[in-house]
Each structure stands twice: as structure tokens, then as C-alpha cells.
Amino acid sequence: MLLLAVLGSTSTNAVAAEPRPFDPLRTGRDGQILEKGPSQKPVDRPGVAARAADPASLSLRVTSPAPDESFIGTATNLTFRNSTGDFTVSCASGTLAGTVPNAVGAYVIGGRHYPLGTITGSATTDCHGPGGDAYSMTFVMSPATLYPESHDPATGKTVMDGDWTRVVLSGPGCTVHAYFNFTYTNATRSLSLENGRTVGNDCRTYFEYTDTLAMNASYLLNSNVQMVAATPVFTVSGAPSSGAFGSGSTSVLQFQGPTDGFSGMCTRMEQSGTVASGAVSAGGTIASITGLAVGGCNQEMSVEPIGLPWNLRPYRYDSAGYTYGVYDGMALRVTLPDCSFKLEVDSNYLPQDWFFRYVESYGPFLAPANLTATHSTDLVGAGCAARGVYNGAQINVIGGGTIAPEPLRITGQ
């Protein structure tokens, strides 16, 4: 995360080595792209099975007993079969390795998915296909990020999409690619591959261009990972009786446009506001930013907030100490010598994120703009076009800084 890297450059303490927020902006899903629109409707790519509508929300408690939150899964007798049954690849054994961070809270909000874990490595042994020919079975992933899609409390099963992950079966004159889902079942500690849709295969003897690949591949995890439906409660401690907080000493605000578009950096962002004390339910207001002053900007740029206060509402807490949330409203006015424009939150990419993290070297760090997608509007001045700014252009806002008092912390249970 750029914010932590910038903070790290101001001190001998290696803040840049702190775990980055496990929350990348997701613009695509395995076999799907997101169509712009209020509901972020998934659009199927050719050759990928259509899916049911995404749930509006999905909140889980994920526990991973291993000290480093890692797991290794082992499987025997893995089989992969086409729809007609005349193509079968069997592997004697296989392994999967990955990590699942401990966390509690929402993973799907308004149709937008957030990562739950990662597959970092895999291997298979002794694979054979039709006629006993030697085959290889590999995962294509870099690595595979797991996005939960649904959870069934009755069966304890969680369905997860391995973004851009596919199985590749390769033998003499035959290569098959298949996209698939992972499922995890609590009671059996089994991470399984769901039947996949093949695409782009070079194995016309057995497959049409698009076909179904039935998979019997279930990996027993060495760690008792559990995923259950749960709604978190957040606790604020160390806040003053007045509930007020102010700005700390280190901050940054950055603007990133599309390729060859507008970009800018401000090295001072003074925040002030109020924070709750004690327990706050998920979705409740945990803090409000009532004052925001930005300075130290390049390009003779000035930045002013619009629509304060911005209310921050938490939705997830993880073992790295990050509290994630959404906020109510955000807009900024950017003024340059030859151009002025307003940045408004892009409703196509809701919810917009913030995060809170207590960094030991600095104290509490609040980022009310954590890779926030905005659109430029209300352009004034002939210089906007020359800077790559036009009505509707997407400009990402990344910003945050330390706040006081130092003991302030937010945790989730």
C-alpha cells in the first residue's frame, strides 16, 4: 500500500513492511467482468457458465488456527471427466497450500466481493488419461485469490471463486483448460473443486470448445479452518471523553487518473472529527470526519473537501489489526492554475472503502480514502483537457494519515 510505504520513508521504522490491507479493488471475477451500473451486474465471458445473482451481503467469521494462518491440503484419487464420459484423467495424489487470515465481517457488500484467502501453491503426482497416457494436472494462478460467494449454515459449506484460476490437463495432443469454484466444508475440513466449464481447449476429440469438466478433487486441510455466518461488533478504546480526534504528524493524499491522465500528490492532510466509545454494531457510525485540510500539493494545486461530515461505518476486522468500512458521502474540489473540477464518488463502484490500522511505530492511522473511485465533474478552465481531465473521467483517490490521541484503537469481535 502506497500510504504505508510513504509513511515508512519518514522513519527508520519499517512501516512499509506492515501487512498491507487485504482488500484489493476487484474489477473482475473468474470468468466475468463487472458491467458498470448501480448493481455492478456480473457479465459472463464467452464459454463461462452463467451464475446466480450475487448476494447483497455476506458476513462471516473466519478462524484459521495455524499461527501463520496457513494450510496444506492433501488429496488422493483426483479425477476429471468430460460430459460424455469418454475422457478421464486420474491423479494418484495432490496438494494445495494457502493462507486464510482470521477475520470477522462482511465479504460481499452490495454485490462487491472482497478476498477471504489465497492459494499459493499446488502439486499433483502420477496423472494418466485416456489409454493410460501420461498427463499433467496443474493450476494456473498467480496466486489464486479466494472470493466467497455464498455460505450455507445448514451444511457449513462456503462457495468461493478463485479469481482467474483454472485447471489445465495436458497430455499427448490434448490440452484442456477449465475454470471452476472452490468449496470448503467445515465439518470435514475439505477444500474441493466444483465442476468447471472448459474454454480455449485444444482437445477436440473429447471436448467441444465449451464443455463441462466434472471434478472429483477434495483436499483435506491440516488446519481446522472454520467459516460461519457472523455479524461483528466493533470496540473503540482509548478515545477521549469528548470523542474528538485530531490529525497526527504524517499523512498523504494522492490522485491517480487513467493512463496519461491527471495525477497529483499532497503531503499534508489534517483530519479532525469525532469517534464513538465502546461497542458499535456493524453498519453503525464509528467515526465522523468533520474537518479536513489538505496542503503540500504539487502543481500549485489546492484541494477542499465537500459535504462534510463523512460518516465512517465499519464492516470487517482482520487479524492484521485492520478495520474496514464504508462512508457516507465524499467529494473534493481540486483547483489548479488553469483548471478546477469536482471529484464525486463513483456510484458504479460502491461501497467506497476506508480502513483504520494501529501502526506501532506511529499510532492510529486512518485512511478515509482507500483507493476510492471518483469521477470528475463541474470542470472550469481550458487547462483541464490538457491535463487529461474531462467530465466523467475516473480518478482514484488514495489518502490517509495518523490521528490523535495515540491510544485510540478499534477492534472487532
pLDDT of residue 12: 32
Residue 102 scores a pLDDT above 50: yes
User: What average pLDDT does range 47-61 have in this prediction?
Assistant: 59
So where are the chain's domains? 2-24+232-412, 31-229
User: What average pLDDT does range 375-397 have in this prediction?
Assistant: 92
- Percent of the chain with pLDDT strictly greater than 90: 66
CA 377/CA 386 separation, integer angstroms: 16
In this prediction, residue 37 has a pLDDT band, given cuts at 50, 70 and 90, of: very low
pLDDT of residue 56: 66
Grid cell at residue 139: 493450476
CA 36/CA 54 separation, integer angstroms: 15
What are the φ/ψ torsions at residue 322 (nearest 5 degrees)?
Answer: -90, 135
User: What average pLDDT does range 143-170 have in this prediction?
Assistant: 92
pLDDT of residue 143: 78
Residue 357 scores a pLDDT above 50: yes
- 3-state class of 208 per DSSP? coil
Cα–Cα–Cα angle for 101, 103, 107, nearest 5°? 100
Range with lowest mean pLDDT among 158-167, 182-191, 225-234, 328-337: 158-167
pLDDT of residue 201: 80
Give 143's DSSP letter.
S
Residue 294 scores a pLDDT above 70: yes
In this prediction, residue 199 has a pLDDT band, given cuts at 50, 70 and 90, of: confident
pLDDT of residue 90: 98
Of 140 and 3, the one with more pLDDT: 140
Q: Which helix (H) or strand (E) covers residue 206, if one does?
A: none
Beta partners for residue 148, in sequence order: 160
In this prediction, residue 249 has a pLDDT band, given cuts at 50, 70 and 90, of: confident
In this prediction, residue 55 has a pLDDT band, given cuts at 50, 70 and 90, of: low
Range with lowest mean pLDDT among 15-24, 106-115, 253-262: 15-24
Give 141's DSSP letter.
-
- 3-state class of 111 per DSSP? coil
CA 6/CA 262 separation, integer angstroms: 20
pLDDT of residue 57: 84
Of 29 and 234, the one with more pLDDT: 234
Mean pLDDT of the chain: 85
Q: How many CB atoms lie within 10 A of CB 24?
A: 12
In this prediction, residue 5 has a pLDDT band, given cuts at 50, 70 and 90, of: very low
pLDDT of residue 144: 86
Residue 51 scores a pLDDT above 50: no
CA 167/CA 180 separation, integer angstroms: 8
Of 157, 325, 333, 364, the C-alpha closest to 246 is 364
How far CA 252 is from CA of 1, 7, 304, 328, 409, in Å, comes to 12, 8, 14, 21, 21
Is the separation of the CB atoms in 375 and 330 below 8 Å? no
In this prediction, residue 351 has a pLDDT band, given cuts at 50, 70 and 90, of: confident
- 3-state class of 410 per DSSP? strand
User: What average pLDDT does range 73-93 have in this prediction?
Assistant: 96
* Residues in the chain, overall count: 413
Of 183, 146, 149, 147, the C-alpha closest to 58 is 149
Residue 117 scores a pLDDT above 60: yes
What is the reported pTM? 0.84
